[in-house]
A and B are shown apart, each in its own frame.
Chain A
Amino acid sequence: MAYMLQAAQLGKTVTTAAGDLTILKDINLSVAKGESLAITGASGSGKSTLLGLLAGLDVPTTGRVELAGINLGELDEEGRARVRAEHVGFVFQSFQLLPGLTALENVMLPLELVGDAKARQRASEYLERVGLAARLGHYPPQLSGGEQQRVAIARAFACEPDILFADEPTGNLDSSTGHTINDLLFGLNEEAGTTLVLITHEERLANRCARQLQLAGGELMIASAEAIA
């Protein structure tokens, strides 16, 4: 079985004024291509930290991460950036749209960065698919939270990533809006066959994923029999 993502003995320790703080300890997991994985856990349990390590945004203190068959530990920040550009997409809890850019330009940005000549066309296509065809020229502050997150989803999928990381994508939204967003996320995911790693504290959302892992105090609890396949 081909794995999209593998982590072994992953650990993260940070140095603070109060001494060393171990946030993550001995994490082992693997995600197959096209699979969806939910990571749940209490606030402060280390979910975001784990996501950062898995996506190559940060470097672990111990252990290794392999993304799309590439060992991230052997790369420097430039190398990891290349991997992200090629394989990874993100959806954040706080949307992370640039306030000075229109919805369309926000979606275009990653495409422009890789020199896509059809950036505008593809971006408007994806915005249409998330139901924002009428809001292309609007700026983020003029959009509701749900609309902003839809723009962010369009941005993530427009790059056609192999794996999508989502950190509490509905955490800032009310439940019915959250529901719409989730439908969109899973719908697009299925269509594109993208691997999905999702952080959430919502049970309902976690249940929509093929597998679930639970973090507690920086360690993985086995939440599902085949956590380590």
Chain B
Amino acid sequence: MLAWRLLWRNWRSGEIKLLSVALALAVTVVSAIALFTDRLEGTLLEQSNSLLGADRLVTSNQPHRREWADEARRRDLAQTRVVHFASMVFAGDEMHLASVKAVAEGYPLRGYIDTSQTPFALEPELIERAQGIPAAGEVWVDSRLLPLLHIELGDTLQVGEGRLRATRVITSEPDGSGPFSVMGARILMNWADLERTRVIQPGSRVEYQWLLAGEEAQVSEFMQWLEPKLSEHEEVMDIENAQRRLQGTLLSGRRFLVLAAVMGVLLAGVAIALAARQFADRHINQVALLKSLGTSAGRIRGLYLAQLLILAALASLLGLALGALLQEVIARVVLKLYQIEMAPSGLIPIALSLLSGPLALVGFALPSLWFLPGVPPIKVLRQEMVIPRGAFVWQVILACAVLILLVGVFGRDLVLGLTVLAALAVVGSLASALALGLLATSRRAGAQAGSRWRLALASIQRRRGASVLQVVVFATAIMLLLSLTIVRTSLIEEWQVKVPDNAPNHFLLNIAPSQVEDFRALLTADSLKVEQLYPMVRGRLTHINDEPKPEDTLNREASLTWTAELAEDNQVVAGKWWGEWQRGEADLPGVSVEQEVAERLGIALGDRLSFSIGGLAAEAEVASFRTLEWESLQPNFYFIFEPGALDDYAPMYMTSVYLPAEKKRFINTLLTRYPTVVVIELDRIINQIRTIISQVSDGVGLVLAMVLLGGCLVLIAAVTGSIDARKQEAGLLRALGAPRRLMVGGIWIEFALLGGCAGVIAVMASEALLLGLQVFVFEVPVQPHYLYWLLTPAVSAVFVGVLGAISCRHAVTTPPAIVLREAQ
């Protein structure tokens, strides 16, 4: 109880306000980021699952067994089924080999089917989220099917032996199969119509999918039960294989958030440490007095600890509330902008956030307070006595330990935390040395300066230790802010580079060699840019150097191509590209293999690869390895052959094209002209990536704002640390007749100088930190940021000057008598 009362008095006297604000800020940063990343991850998982239509998918060439379904039902899992097959559909004289999907009630378990009454609709107001599945007797179809069959919505088409009416077009649907396998236009029909239409005949090539969803723990438990029972015809799919493309982007987005969190916590930590130091300064006399009154060291320690714990608990609750509020705001924005409902957060981030308050206190505040109970009672009689503080090393070690703990536990990213810490260590020592040097120079300069300058420089000199500390602290804060801003900008830029605005957003496949020239002409006539046309055959890798290839990789047909020119995002990393490469003794054509798949298959340069292409055998020698960027959404191939090498295998051509939204209906023209061409609409995938990027950068922007707040707190903490001494001095000077203008001017100059120094150091340090981050963490190219070299010191001088002037305003403008009395 006494602790509560003491805490309340300390709060009232303003001695712990800064400490409380800094603590609450630390918790706010941790909780906002922990909650937001948790929800972001949850959302992405949900979205990925919605791509699959379920949490898990079991594909097979026959329906799944009844016992399995019973077991799944017993375990409370949601389930439904889908069957995929290709079927000729007719309307009048027209026909098309469609990709049919018959779905049962409940489909999809995750995600949505979006449909429209307007073919090729893009406008959100024309698109509707489907409730349920097509009714019996109806089908929903790809827009492109309509021109292919010369029909309109409402018309019927012949599917198998039945007639079904096309009532809606599909604008997006969850889809388990990758874009390349979708050859025909999609028809979505009701499972109940399967029997009546008799589309599935014995011997038809069909793929049954069994969709499952539920709580992740239960689902994976069920999969463990199920997997041993599966035959070789059955295959389980989860999001891992569904969503490889987004991984890279997400990883760096997450890392960035964690980085921001580290920096936010670090800044708040510095503010906490400074505030604690101030608190300790002011409490030395109090402790000595308590001791003279007969309070034991143990009791004093207990009283202070209790106060701090109460404070930490309150700050944690407040911080958690604020953090939760903040991330909820972003979630709302996300919902409004992108119609994406974010997943709720789990309990772990909440627990972590609550823990972070006490943890931050222990790591950042306790070390500076630890010596307090040891203040000897004789201090009450000997005011001039200097009280030794705890060893600085311990403070640093403890702070680092806590930081590593926070980053390790909640960011799950140690490398990142260590990089930041290492950079900070360098900055700390460098900044101290530099600050000392700069101060020494300023003293010499001070001798010839005008009176305001002399006053400012004298003040800096007098508080040498404090001045160096301030410069180091300012520099650290500015450095962290600077690095964060630069990293954010360059990350977002980098993502945008990966998916440039006018990147090809449609793949056109299955173009016959005889159509190539006409096709080109048609595109050019519509002023569309024609990308490279790749000849393409589907083939299967069978042997490496006459040994059967490893069974676990690439068990499907791959797209094989040849080209003379390497695409922009491809890079040869070993071997030689055509032109420099020479055929070997066997006189086999060369093939260039994507590096990762080569590694997985254990392929070396010069190996002989055997392919089976439509039943025919083909051989080639490995000439080079390439890296490529899947994120670029360009046509990419595992195997690229020497030009002409596949001429005998009846290749079809493919290309990609950028269609702006307003030209989307061009697909209609195209398909009417070339009914056999297959169009894959990548723009939907690109949009999804864009959405995710903007989600991440919104989160980042908010976090940045919080970190900025942390920086300001640190500055304020550092300035107010010297206020007491300043008040006394200023009162004295004013009493001696120094004019107000001179005093105010002196303060401005003093803080602007400190800020300027800090800015210079910060720019150098942040370049160093960025170098580390770019090389070890984000793996992006290194580049200097010249503009910041100019801007930072200037902005920092002005900012710190203003801040100092405001903080010390009171000390220099109140009448000297009052100042002297308060300072006693």
Residues of A within 8 A of B (CB): 48, 51-52, 55, 57-58, 77-78, 81-86, 88, 90, 92, 94, 96, 98-101, 105, 109-110, 112-113, 141, 159, 167
A-B contact pairs, 29 of them (CB 8 A): A57-B292, A57-B376, A57-B378, A57-B381, A78-B297, A81-B291, A81-B296, A81-B377, A82-B294, A82-B296, A84-B292, A84-B377, A85-B294, A85-B295, A90-B292, A90-B380, A92-B381, A94-B383, A98-B285, A98-B286, A100-B9, A100-B10, A100-B13, A100-B14, A100-B15, A110-B293, A113-B2, A113-B295, A159-B293
**Distance, CA A110 to CA B821, complexed state (A):** 25
CB distance from A168 to the nearest CB of B (A): 10
Contacts of A167 in B (CB 8 A): 381
Q: Which residues of B contact A58 (CB under 8 A)?
A: 376-378
Q: Tell me whether A78 and B293 are in contact in the complex, defined as CB-CB below 8 angstroms, given that A100-B9, A100-B10 are known contacts.
A: no
A-facing residues in B370-407 (Cβ within 8 Å)? 376-378, 380-383
Point out the residues of chain B lying under 8 angstroms from A77, CB to CB: 296-297
B382 nearest CB across to chain A (Å)? 7
CA distance A101 to B15 in the complex (A): 11
For B285, list chain A residues within 8 Å (CB): 96, 98
Contact A81 B381 (CB under 8 A): no
Q: Which of A58, A83, A96 has the most CB of B within 10 A?
A: A96
Q: Is the interface of A mostly helix, strand, loop or mixed?
A: helix
Interchain CB contact under 8 A, B5 and A112: yes
CA distance A112 to B2 in the complex (A): 7
Determine the interface band of chain B, counting residues with CB < 8 A from chain A.
Answer: 20 to 34
* Bound complex: CA A83 to CA B296 (Å): 11
Given known A58-B378, A78-B297, A81-B295, contact A96–B10 (CB-CB < 8 A): no
A-B CB proximity, top 9 nearest: A85-B294, A100-B13, A84-B294, A58-B378, A57-B377, A81-B296, A57-B378, A110-B293, A78-B296
Extra A-B contacts (12), CB below 8 Å, given A84-B293, A85-B294, A90-B292: A48-B382, A52-B382, A78-B296, A82-B294, A86-B294, A96-B292, A98-B285, A99-B13, A100-B9, A101-B13, A109-B293, A110-B293
In angstroms, how far is the closest chain B Cβ from the Cβ of A67? 12
Contacts of B298 in A (CB 8 A): 78
> Separation in Å of the A101 CB from the closest CB of chain B?
6
User: How far, in whole Å, are A14 and B451 apart by their CA atoms in the complex?
Assistant: 44
Is the CB of B822 closer than 8 A to any CB of chain A? yes
B286-334 with Cβ < 8 A to chain A: 286, 289-299
Complex: A39 Cα to B293 Cα, angstroms: 22
Query: Across the two chains, which residue of chain A brings its CB closest to B383?
Result: A94
* Residue B74 at the chain A interface, CB threshold 8 Å: no
List chain B residues, Cβ under 8 A from A110.
Answer: 293-294
Instruction: Tell whether, in the assembled complex, residue A96 and residue B380 are in contact, meaning their CB atoms are under 8 Å apart.
Output: yes
A141 contacts B293, C-beta separation under 8 Å: no
Quote the shortest CB–CB distance from A161 to chain B (angstroms).
10
* B294 close to A48 (CB less than 8 A): no
Give Cα distance in the complex from A101 to B291, angstroms.
Answer: 17
Q: Are A141 and B821 in contact (CB-based, < 8 A)?
A: yes
B12 at the A interface (CB under 8 A):
yes
Interface residue B824 (Cβ < 8 Å from any Cβ of A): yes
B residues near A (Cβ < 8 Å) are 2, 5, 9-10, 12-15, 285-286, 289-299, 376-378, 380-383, 821-822, 824
User: Whole-angstrom distance between the alpha carbons of A159 and B290 in the complex?
Assistant: 13
Q: Roughly how many angstroms separate A178 CA and B733 CA in the complex, as a whole number?
A: 29
A78 CA to B383 CA in the complex, in Å? 22
- Contacts of A90 on B, CB cut-off 8 Å? 292-293, 380
Q: By CB atoms of chain A within 10 A, which of B9, B289, B381 has the most?
A: B381
- Residues of chain B lying within 8 A (CB to CB) of residue A109: 290, 293
A112, chain B: closest CB distance, angstroms: 6
CB-defined contacts of B382 to chain A, threshold 8 Å? 48, 52
Q: Who on chain B is nearest to A101 by CB?
A: B9
Contacts of B13 in A (CB 8 A): 99-101
Contacts of B380 in A (CB 8 A): 57, 90, 92, 96
Distance in angstroms between the alpha carbons of A82 and B297 in the assembled complex = 11
What's the minimum C-beta distance from A200 to chain B, rounded to whole angstroms? Answer: 15
Q: Judging by beta carbons under 8 Å apart, are A81 and B294 in contact?
A: yes
Contact across chains for A98 and B295 when beta carbons are under 8 A apart: no
A78 to B382, CA, bound (A): 20
Taking a contact as CB atoms closer than 8 A, the residue among B5, B286, B381, B383 that contacts A51 in the complex is B381
In the assembled complex, how far is the CB of residue B372 from the closest CB belonging to chain A, in whole angstroms? Answer: 14
Provide the residues of chain A in CB contact with B290, threshold 8 Å.
Answer: 109, 113
CB proximity of B539 to chain A, nearest CB, Å? 82
Chain B residues near A96 (CB-CB < 8 A) = 285, 289, 292, 380
Output the nearest chain B residue to A142 by Cβ-Cβ distance. Answer: B821
| A48 with B293: CB separation less than 8 A | no
**In the assembled complex, how far is the CB of residue B293 from the closest CB belonging to chain A, in whole angstroms?**
5
A105 CA to B6 CA, complexed, in Å: 10
Tell me the minimal C-beta distance from B285 to chain A in angstroms.
7
Selected contact of A113 from candidates B14, B286, B293, B377, CB within 8 Å = B293
Roughly how many angstroms separate A78 CA and B10 CA in the complex, as a whole number? 26
The closest CB in chain B to the CB of A112 belongs to B2
Given contacts A48-B382, A52-B381, A78-B297, contact A98 B289 (CB under 8 A): yes
- Name the residue in B286, B293, B299, B382 with the highest tally of chain A Cβ atoms < 10 Å from its Cβ: B293
CA distance A92 to B382 in the complex (A): 11
Structural contact, A48 and B381, CB atoms closer than 8 A: yes
Chain A residues, CB < 8 A from B5: 112
**B contact residues around A83 at 8 Å (CB):** 294
Q: Given the complex of chains A and B, what is the CA–CA distance between A81 and B292 in angstroms?
A: 7
A205–chain B nearest beta-carbon distance, Å:
19
A109–B289 alpha-carbon span in the complex (Å): 10
Chain B residues whose CB sits within 8 angstroms of the CB of A101 once the complex forms: 9, 13
